[in-house]
Amino acid sequence: MESTALTLNWMVLTDDELIHSFVEGNQEAFRGLVSKYKDPITHYIHVMIRDYECAVDLAQETFLRVYKHADAYKTTYQFSTWIYRIATNLAIDEIRRRRRQMTQPLENRRHSSGTAFPTESYIIDTRGLRPDEALIQKEKLRYLSNAIESLPRKYRHVFVLKEIQDLPYEEIADVLSCSSGTVKSRLHRARGLLRKKLAHYLNRGKV
């Protein structure tokens, strides 16, 4: 009962209140932040690198860094900006590592969980769909995921943060340490590139 009461209590506190409470030594506040952000951060990294095991690992690393450096958090940014920035940097490092690995001989590449060659598609809830509808939905997402993955990194981050994580321009600018104008132009470019890549499938019921 007490645990439920505490959980409810964390849900009404703001991120700032939680992080400050944690900095003052309240471990429960950190758990509150984890339960609030674990899904969005895992999802964000998963969309960026398309490898679930690795996304979970990096999401945990993100929270570990929050834990270690909570006292360095500045209230000039929102907490969500800070945690997305950490997650973005980790995802960028992982993408770079994989790119380096792609240039190595085949036998040196890693194939276990955290594979360098993500082939996994999203686990789609197909309940309520006919088998053919479920198949079409899977295909749609596969095309889109491939198209997003093929975007240059700077466009991919902006697109995912805006269209999937639904962050406002200003927060995206803070996460990526650039101006709102840059976010606007990169988003425009990302949409244009995706439109070109998916041109054959748009408005035809295929995608």
Partner 1 sequence: MDCHRFKVIIGEYYDQRLPEKQRLIFESHLLSCGECRKTLQDWAEISALAKSIPMTKAPEHFEAALQRRIMEARRKPVGWTALVQWLTVPQGRMAAWVVALMVLIGSLFFLQRDNKPEPRLAGQASHTIDNHAPEPVALEAPDYVNVLLKGNGNEQVIMRLPSTIRVYMPDNDDSYYRNVSH
Judged by the rule CB under 8 A, the positions of this chain that interact with partner 1 are 31, 34-35, 38-39, 41-43, 46-47, 52, 55-56, 59-61, 63-64, 67-68, 122-125, 137, 140-141, 144-145, 148, 159, 162-164, 169, 184, 187-188, 191, 194-195, 198, 202-203, 207
Q: Which residue number, 92 or 207, has a Cβ lying nearer to partner 1?
A: 207
Q: Which residue number, 77 or 169, has a Cβ lying nearer to partner 1?
A: 169
User: Which of 21, 19, 30 lies closest to 82 in space, CA to CA?
Assistant: 19
DSSP code, position 112? S
Q: Which residue number, 102 or 124, has a Cβ lying nearer to partner 1?
A: 124
Q: Which residue number, 173 or 194, has a Cβ lying nearer to partner 1?
A: 194
Residue 168 CB, shortest distance to partner 1, in Å, is: 9
User: Which of 136, 147, 158, 132 lies closest to 44 in space, CA to CA?
Assistant: 158
Dihedral sign (CA 60, 8, 174, 24): negative
Q: Which residue number, 107 or 132, has a Cβ lying nearer to partner 1?
A: 132
Q: What are phi and psi of 77, to 5 degrees?
A: -110, 160
Dihedral sign (CA 192, 175, 42, 93): positive
Mention every residue, 6+ apart, whose C-beta is less than 8 A from residue 81. 171, 174, 175
Q: Are 86 and 43 in contact (CB under 8 A)?
A: no
User: Which of 79, 6, 8 lies closest to 41 in space, CA to CA?
Assistant: 79
Residue 107 CB, shortest distance to partner 1, in Å, is: 25
Residue 16 CB, shortest distance to partner 1, in Å, is: 21
Residue 22 CB, shortest distance to partner 1, in Å, is: 12
Residue 66 CB, shortest distance to partner 1, in Å, is: 10
